[in-house]
Amino acid sequence: MNKLQTFSALTAIFLLINTSGIVQAQTPVSYVDPFIGTSNYGATFPGPVVPWGMVSVVPYNVTPHEGNEYSNTDSWCSNPYVYNNEMMTGFSHVNLSGVGCPDLGSVLLMPTTGELEVDLNKYATPISNQKASPGYYSAFLDRYAIKAEATTTQRTGISKYTFPEGQSNILLNLGHGLTNESGAYVKMTSDTEIEGYKLMGTFCYNPEAVFPVYFVVKFNKPAQKRGYWKKQPRLPGTRHQWSPTSGKYKIYNNYYRELAGDQIGAWYTFDTQEGETIEAKVGISYVSIENARENLNSEQPGFDFEGTVRKAKEEWNKQLSKIEVEGGTDEDKIRFYTALYHVLIHPNILQDVNGEYPAMESSEIRKVENRNRYTVFSLWDTYRTVHPLLTLVYPKQQTDMLKTMVDMYRESGWLPKWELYSRETHVMEGDPALIVLADSYLRGLTGFDIETAYEAMMKSATTPGSVNFMRPHNDFYLKNHYIAFRDSFDNSVSEALEFYIADYSLSQLAKALGKKNDYEMLYNRSLGYKKYFDPEYDLLRPVERDGSFMPNYDPFQGENFEPVHGFHEGNSWQYSFAVPHDIEGLTKLMGSEDRFVQQLEKTFRDSLFDMGNEPDMGYPYFFNYVEGEEWQTQKTVRDCIDRYFHTGPDGLPGNDDTGTMSAWLMYSMMGFYPITPGNPVYTLSSPVFDKITIHLDENYNANNQIVIETGNNRKDNIYIRKMELGGKELKDYFISHDELIRNGKIKFYLTDEPGILSK
């Protein structure tokens, strides 16, 4: 960690004991460092949030997305906070963690002192002495000598500002944020309360994905003065000609009852004594202002900052304690528990305390009872690691997520692809909700409407492309089982590979449900990847409509996000093994197991592997498919853990993708990995810890837990000499989900030399 980060979470926890007396050392919370991933485009944030919480309070320190003059380093970002930046312009209350496109980062409160200034280019301040741990964040605002602290509940945030003597101000900036939308409405209902809404959306520049967020803000002290502001627009005129007020901020006093428009905000001014604190709590809703107020009154009826911090930490300890690790270094535990922390941020709840939520792709308000409605489904990413992990460790929450996706089908006519607050953003390829539903059911989560889910899955799998919301190129695919190369830079191969994984997953579900004809049709389609296989390169290559290979093929094209033929955010090397449902078939296409291993080795040796790219994140485990080469999985997985995941702000290999990278790290540190979506099987590698205890929901097995133990576990002992499952020697590097649950205990015996298990 560099010197700018004054405290890691491990250090901060001991300081928090002095301020609130709420946490005992060495609980899972004490190993979480929320600063991990806040640099190197990890796009995580250090601000407080509770597990699956709707609200987070995040220091905003990146360049305004609306094109204002204020600038900073690492200016383009999909998250309101970048660790290396020093200048802050407020605390946002609705945020996304680990995503690759900007949105939300809005409803910002900013404390200042002195003469009122509402231009963010002029009121921005350096921050220092940052501290963060689950459920708590604090920083010192250098310019104003203000200590700012924040915490949250599920649907509310609360901030505490310790001011110096003199005039102090709290600004509510509704024109500032990561969203492309700037419209807002605000109304002061008293000298201690503000209400309104702000438009959000256009995630990844989809102009249709727009939605409002409603808020109510309350202060624990009446303001002496209050009012609004609005940035004046540029007036028509000749080039370079500006009105005297162009780009200026017009300040309105409190005799205006309300204000609507673009680039607006509200200000409250107080007279404070040295060391006086003012608390501001914010309720959020995606339904109405009334619901935002009800959320606030229900979850924070009073002003109890320390009590709210304590409850947030208790909830984090409860959820993080589902997995206990022993042994390893403190750094190992920090990486592991911070990863679990990131996994439990999204998907997050959407419904208000009264159960109301905005229906999918609709203006209708619906109500859910006795369960949660979830949102922020980054499914192209999360189907690979996050949802299998939730299925195993947090089945109640995962089941509610499955029910949510089925409800989205009922409401909109389609399953989600990349859903954001009940709007479809159309980001990435494939049919990923189908994979999550099928895989979860096959792993034993059957407590959702499988008949309606199957109907939804078959609709996207068989509907012609001209009217197919999920598979727009389905016409050609249904007939030929591949997607033809269309133009100079398309994603045809990447798109088809996602369909193959989806079709395989659905085929396995059809088989389990006794639908033989569907199973055979879908399974045969899932093998269409062979059409792309070019034996000249032993790689996948785009194919023309007539079945011929695309000319002028360069398998290295696409490095560093350059435009590429046929592949999305990568090149052929990062996709050519991305058929986890048929590795044996791919091996036969390459001619031999030796050739398969050579190509896989080249991927890692020549730096063609991209840990931050989801399609190839399973590559390190594919050596397990070749007898005698399993040691390479053990070596490569450990190398990836140590090479790409660290304890500093740059500790993630790029976007966390709402926990996807973090879940990969967790699996890899525990020694098992869900290698094939739609096939409830884990492949094995050597664990990092001496002992891992996964506490299961009741009725999973006799002991309601899985215990993974490691013998002779030392730094250099990364190779497996012997394995036992349920006390019996295990001869294979693959075990089923049922075997893991039923036996409940795996033991690994490690050594420092590669070897082969005796059969």
Which is higher by pLDDT, 680 or 13? 680
**Strand 356-358, strand 365-367: pairing:** antiparallel
Nearest 10 degrees: Cα torsion 358, 360, 363, 368: -40
Sign for the pseudo-dihedral over CA of 189, 192, 193, 199: positive
Quote the percentage of the chain above a pLDDT of 90: 83
In DSSP terms, which residues pair with 373 in a beta bridge? none
Cβ neighbourhood burial of 691 (10 Å; 0-12, 13-18, 19+):
middle
Q: What is the mean pLDDT of the chain?
A: 91
**Strand 225-231, strand 249-253: pairing:** antiparallel
Whole-number pLDDT of residue 326:
97
Whole-number pLDDT of residue 205:
77
In DSSP terms, which residues pair with 465 in a beta bridge? none
The backbone torsions φ and ψ at residue 259, rounded to the nearest 5 degrees and listed phi first, read: -150, 140
**Could you read off the pLDDT of 578-626 as tens digits, one per residue?**
999 999 999 999 999 999 999 999 999 999 999 999 999 999 999 999 9
Tell me if 422 sits within 8 A of 405, measured CB to CB: no
- Report the distance separating Cα 610 and Cα 336, nearest Å: 21
Tell me if 570 sits within 8 A of 603, measured CB to CB: no
Q: In what order do the strands lie in the sheet with 672-674?
A: 672-674, 681-684, 734-736
- Report the distance separating Cα 638 and Cα 180, nearest Å: 41
**Could you read off the pLDDT of 151-160 as tens digits, one per residue?**
999 999 999 9
**Could you read off the pLDDT of 100-151 as tens digits, one per residue?**
898 999 999 999 999 999 999 999 999 999 999 999 999 999 999 999 999 9
DSSP string, 509-543: HHHHTT-HHHHHHHHHHHTGGGGGEETTTTEE--B
Which is higher by pLDDT, 246 or 271? 271
pLDDT band at 247 (very low <50, low <70, confident <90, very high): low
Nearest 10 degrees: Cα torsion 628, 632, 634, 635: 140
Among residues 534, 551, 531, the alpha carbon closest in space to that of 477 is found at 531
pTM: 0.94
Which is higher by pLDDT, 41 or 71? 41
Chain-centre distance of CA 458, in angstroms?
A: 27
Name the 3-class secondary structure at 727.
Answer: coil
Chain-centre distance of CA 151, in angstroms?
A: 20
**Could you read off the pLDDT of 434-474 as tens digits, one per residue?**
999 999 999 999 999 999 999 999 999 999 988 998 999 89
- Report the distance separating Cα 639 and Cα 98, nearest Å: 23
Average pLDDT of 32-60?
97
The backbone torsions φ and ψ at residue 42, rounded to the nearest 5 degrees and listed phi first, read: -65, -30
Domains of the chain: 9-318 (2.70.98.10), 321-751 (3.30.2080.10)
Structural element, H or E, at residue 192: none
**Could you read off the pLDDT of 203-223 as tens digits, one per residue?**
887 778 899 999 999 999 999
Length of the chain: 759
- 264 Rama class: left (phi>0) / alpha (psi -120 to 50) / beta: beta
Whole-number pLDDT of residue 759:
57
Binning the chain into helix, strand and coil, the percentages to the nearest 5 are 30, 25, 45
SS (H, E, C) 383-401: CCCHHHHHHHHCHHHHHHH
Cβ neighbourhood burial of 208 (10 Å; 0-12, 13-18, 19+):
exposed
**Could you read off the pLDDT of 532-568 as tens digits, one per residue?**
999 999 999 999 999 999 998 999 987 766 788 899 9
**Could you read off the pLDDT of 73-89 as tens digits, one per residue?**
333 467 899 999 989 99
Whole-number pLDDT of residue 220:
97
CA dist 624 → 320, 383, 717, 754 (Å): 30, 22, 18, 13
pLDDT band at 4 (very low <50, low <70, confident <90, very high): very low
CB within 8 Å of 383: residues ≥ 6 apart = 432, 435, 436, 439, 677
Tell me if 653 sits within 8 A of 644, measured CB to CB: yes
Is there a cis peptide before residue 347, judged by omega within 30 degrees of 0?
Answer: yes
In DSSP terms, which residues pair with 225 in a beta bridge? 269
**Could you read off the pLDDT of 322-373 as tens digits, one per residue?**
999 999 999 999 999 999 999 999 999 999 999 999 999 999 999 999 999 9
Res 17 pLDDT > 50:
no
Average pLDDT of 28-38?
97
- Report the distance separating Cα 572 and Cα 359, nearest Å: 39
pLDDT band at 476 (very low <50, low <70, confident <90, very high): very high
- Report the distance separating Cα 333 and Cα 30, nearest Å: 10
Res 253 pLDDT > 50:
yes
In DSSP terms, which residues pair with 323 in a beta bridge? 694
pLDDT band at 26 (very low <50, low <70, confident <90, very high): confident
Quote the percentage of the chain above a pLDDT of 70: 91
DSSP string, 66-99: T--S---SS---SSS--TT--EE-EEESB--SS-
Whole-number pLDDT of residue 390:
98
pLDDT band at 165 (very low <50, low <70, confident <90, very high): very high
Res 487 pLDDT > 80:
no
pLDDT band at 72 (very low <50, low <70, confident <90, very high): very low
Least confident range from 233-237, 396-400, 572-576, 647-651: namely 233-237
Whole-number pLDDT of residue 536:
96
- Report the distance separating Cα 90 and Cα 94, nearest Å: 12
Whole-number pLDDT of residue 162:
98
Whole-number pLDDT of residue 180:
82
pLDDT band at 35 (very low <50, low <70, confident <90, very high): very high
Among residues 664, 614, 662, 668, the alpha carbon closest in space to that of 636 is found at 668
Among residues 479, 550, 491, the alpha carbon closest in space to that of 521 is found at 479
